Amino acid sequence: MASSDIGKTATRLRLAVWIFWACILLAYVVGRFDLTLGVVQVQAHSPAGDARSFMVISDISILLLSVALYQLTRMLRAITEGDLFSARVVQAFRAFAFWLLLLALVWIIAPVAAVLLAGPDDARRMEFRLQMRDVLTVGIALILFLVARLLERARTVDEELREII
Task: For residue range 29-39, list pLDDT tens digits in order.
Answer: 888 887 776 76
Local confidence band at 54 (pLDDT 50, 70, 90 cut-offs)? low
Residue 41 has pLDDT above 90, yes or no: no
| Tally of CB atoms within 10 A around 107 | 22
pLDDT of residue 103: 93
Read off the DSSP letter of residue 49.
B
Q: Residues 145, 67, 136, 48: is their CA dihedral positive or negative? A: positive
pTM: 0.78
Local confidence band at 120 (pLDDT 50, 70, 90 cut-offs)? low
**What's the mean per-residue pLDDT of the chain?**
83
pLDDT of residue 40: 65
Local confidence band at 76 (pLDDT 50, 70, 90 cut-offs)? very high
